[in-house]
Amino acid sequence: MPVDPSDHAAALRQYAAGVVLMTVQDDIDDVGTTVTSVMSVSADPPLVAVGLGAAGYPREVLEEVGSCGLSVLSADQAILASRFSSAGRPSARHLLESVPWTRGAVSGAILLDGALTTLDCRLSSVVGAGDHVIALLSVEAAEVRAPEAAPLLRLRGRYTAPA
């Protein structure tokens, strides 16, 4: 008997996950979204996987452009995570006014200066997974930016820092 989707969601809310800002620069603007479904897939070659809503605009732009930036957020960046998780958000640059950032050399995407780590990535493939897709990303550049900072976590529907 299949698990009820609401039971599935309730169970996984108990799992603490790191919070990442994924950004994509296209010809028109910068698009960004908060994601918590990120995992390391391979060290050689360096690959990560990101889960995105199949019907979402970030997935569409990522597939169109073929590259993105990932910024692993620190505990003091919870407000940024909230800004990028709300519906109908404006351009990523408008949400990052007064927040220091640079552009990835490969993707041209926004990478946050205050992030724990940043990854500059190329899209390798996309696999359908129910109402989501798994984007397999080839990591072209990685930089540890704030090694002593506490990570931002998502647990039970809230952003939090480790105890």
pLDDT in tens, 101-135: 999 999 999 999 999 999 999 999 999 999 999 99
Residue 57 lies in a domain: yes
In a domain, 121, yes or no: yes
CATH number for the domain spanning 143: value is 2.30.110.10
Whether residue 160 lies inside any domain: the answer is no
pTM for this prediction: 0.94
Q: Which domain holds residue 123?
A: 17-153
Q: Is the residue at 127 inside a domain?
A: yes
Domains: count for the chain? 1
- For 20, 101, 106, 113, the CA distances from 40, given in Å and listed in that order, are 13, 24, 19, 21
Q: Is residue 135 part of a domain?
A: yes
Q: Decide if 8 is inside a domain.
A: no
Rounded mean pLDDT of the chain? 93
Domain annotation covers residue 1: no
CB 117 within 8 A of CB 144: yes
- The stretches of 66-159 forming alpha helices (DSSP H) are 78-85, 92-95
Is residue 11 assigned to a domain? Answer: no
